[in-house]
C-alpha cells in the first residue's frame, strides 16, 4: 500500500477501520482479493514475490506494508511482502511480533509495517533505523514516509475518514472509496521533497494515481469489529485508471 488512513479503537462498531490505495507498476503480476488456498489469509497477492501488501485473517488480524520513497536508498534485502504473510500466519501476537522483528528488520528492503490483532496495534519501520511503536486509539495515516508524516494526501485522507465517522456511517463505504479516488494534486508549497523531482512529486501527491505504466492498482477498505467479524472490500484498476473489478469478502 502507498496511502493509508485508519481508525483504531475509535469507531463505535469497528475496532479497525482502514482505507488504503496500493500504487504499483501495472506490469507487476498480482492476484485479486481472495481467500488463499494455501494459507489462512484474505488478501490480494503479489505473484512475483508471493507475499501481500494487505491481508487479514478470520481471527481478526490485519497487516499492511508500504515502501519508503527515497531514491538514494538502495532497494536491497528480502521482499517487504513477506513481512505481512509472516505476521498473519505466525504464532506471535502484535506485541511479541514487533519485539522480534526489530532484530531482523534491517534485513528487508525499506519498509513501513502496520500490524493489528484483537487487542494491540504496532507500527514497525526500518529507516533510518529499525524501530517499533504501539499505536494509540485514534485516526492515523501512513504513506511512503514515517508513521503519521504529514504529507498532504495523508492528512486529507485522515480528515475524510474522521468526517465519515463523525457522520455516523457504519456500512456505507462509498464516501471512503470516493476519497481514495481523489485525483487532485497538492499545491507545490505543501509537497515533500523525497528526491524524485517536482513534477513527479506533483503526480504522486494525489490519493489516486492515474498512469499508463504505474498507478493505483487497488483501493481497499478493511472493517473489523470488536467481535472480530467484518468485511474486506477491494476495487481494482489497470493502466490509465481503468476499472478492473470489485471483490467483497466477509471476515469469519
pLDDT tens digits, residue range 96-111? Answer: 999 999 999 999 999 9
Mean pLDDT of all residues in 159-166: 98
Cell numbers representing residue 49 in the block: 514475490
Specify the CATH number of the domain 3-251. 3.60.60.10
Mean pLDDT of all residues in 10-29: 98
Q: Which of 69, 18, 65 is nearest to 46 (CA)?
A: 65
How would you label 103-129 residue by residue, b for 16+ Cβ within 10 Å and e otherwise? eebeebbbbbbbbbbeebbbbbbbbee
Place of cell 471483490: 247
pLDDT of residue 76: 83
The DSSP symbol for 193 reads -
Cα 204 off chain centre by:
16
pLDDT of residue 130: 95
Domain boundaries, the chain: 3-251
Given a contact cutoff of 8 angstroms between Cβ atoms, the answer to whether 84 and 222 are in contact is no
Amino acid at each position: 500500500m502507498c496511502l493509508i488512513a485508519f481508525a483504531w479503537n475509535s469507531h463505535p462498531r469497528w475496532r479497525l477501520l482502514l482505507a488504503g490505495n496500493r500504487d504499483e507498476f501495472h506490469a507487476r503480476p498480482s492476484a485479486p482479493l481472495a481467500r488463499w488456498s494455501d494459507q489462512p489469509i484474505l488478501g490480494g497477492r503479489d505473484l512475483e514475490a508471493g507475499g501481500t501488501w494487505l491481508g487479514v485473517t478470520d481471527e481478526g488480524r490485519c497487516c499492511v506494508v508500504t515502501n519508503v520513497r527515497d531514491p538514494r536508498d538502495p532497494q536491497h534485502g528480502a521482499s517487504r511482502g513477506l513481512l505481512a504473510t509472516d505476521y498473519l500466519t505466525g504464532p506471535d501476537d502484535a506485541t511479541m511480533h514487533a519485539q522480534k522483528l526489530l532484530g531482523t528488520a534491517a534485513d528487508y528492503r525499506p519498509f513501513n509495517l502496520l500490524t493489528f490483532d484483537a487487542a494491540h496495534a504496532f507500527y514497525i519501520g526500518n529507516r533510518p533505523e529499525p524501530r517499533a511503536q504501539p499505536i494509540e486509539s485514534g485516526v492515523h495515516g501512513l504513506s511512503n514516509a514515517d508513521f503519521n508524516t504529514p504529507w498532504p494526501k495523508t492528512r486529507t485522507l485522515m480528515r475524510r475518514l474522521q468526517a465519515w465517522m463523525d457522520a455516523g456511517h457504519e456500512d456505507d463505504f462509498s464516501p471512503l472509496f470516493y476519497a481514495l479516488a481523489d485525483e487532485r494534486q497538492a499545491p507545490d508549497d505543501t509537497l515533500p521533497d523525497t528526491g524524485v523531482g517536482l513534477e513527479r512529486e506533483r503526480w504522486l501527491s494525489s490519493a489516486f494515481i492515474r498512469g499508463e505504466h504505474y498507478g493505483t492498482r487497488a483501493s481497499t477498505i478493511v472493517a473489523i469489529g470488536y467481535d472480530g467479524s467484518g468485511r474486506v472490500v477491494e476495487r481494482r484498476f489497470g493502466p490509465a485508471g481503468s476499472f478492473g473489478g470489485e471483490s467483497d469478502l466477509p471476515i469469519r
